[in-house]
Amino acid sequence: MQDLTIDELYEEFEDLPDWDERCDYLIDLGFNLPELPAEAKIEENRVHGCQSNVWLVADIKNSTPPTVEFLANSDAVIVNGLIAVIAALYSGKTPQEIIAIDAQDVFKKLGLERHLSPQRRNGLYSMVQRVRELAVQAEAQS
């Protein structure tokens, strides 16, 4: 799951032109999302702006340049699927690459903008915001 790239995700979504099937695919991604350790599910790691709970942490790899892995979990399965999308988009990239990504453009291409409720869309962008903040922090530390 962690190895899923955003290009592979585009291909999958192209093969699934129907939103229902894409939604099922997101659910499957959600079920396959690695479980965040219970100790990470604390208020400090909580992302606000979503009706469901989301906890998100960053793991900075000591490579040159440093890359960032994102780990997150939600109590809602479809949101876990969205987290898998976020992970595919951002994980393994350098802070600079992360900051340069236009998430809105990606979500539009995937059709997520149109099919999510406003709350879920807000939640998705709150996650993007948090990822970017963590990337900025990682860059400052490197």
Partner 1 sequence: MNPLDIDAVRGDFPILHKPLPKGLPLVYLDSGSSAQKPQCVIDKEREVYENYYANAYRGVYRFGSIVDEELEGAREKIRQFINAEHSEEIVFTAGCTMSLNLVASGWGKRNLKAGDEIILNEMEHHANLVPWQQLALQTGATCRFLPLTEDGRLDMDRIGEVLSDKTKVLAVTGMSNVLGTINPIAELAKKAHDAGAIIVVDGAQSVPHEQTDVVASEIDFLTFSGHKLYGPSGIGVLYGKRELLEQTDPMLFGGHMIDRVYKDHSTWAPSPAKFEAGTIQIAQAIALGSAIDYMTTLGMESVHAHERDVLEYAYTRLQEIPGMRIYGPGIEHRGAITSFTIDGAHPEDLAQLLDRKGVFVRHGHHCTMPLHDLLGVSATVRASFGVYNSRGDVDALMDAIQFACQRLRLT
Shortest Å distance, C-beta 31 to partner 1: 7
Closest approach, Cβ 53 to partner 1, in A, equals 8
23 is catalytic: no
Residue 37: DSSP 8-state = P
Q: Hey, what are 94's tokens?
A: 């350098």
- Between 96 and 119, name the residue whose CB sits nearer to partner 1: 119
Residue 74 has, within 13 A of its CA and on its CB side, a CA count of 26
CB burial readout 47-84, b (16+ within 10 A) else e: bebbeeebbbbbebeeeeeebbebbbbbebebbbbbbb
Question: Which residue lies nearer to partner 1 by CB, 54 or 86?
Answer: 54
Q: Contact positions toward partner 1, by CB under 8 A?
A: 20, 23-24, 27, 31, 51-53, 74-79, 117, 119-120
Q: Which of 50, 68, 124, 128 is catalytic?
A: 50
Active site residues: 50
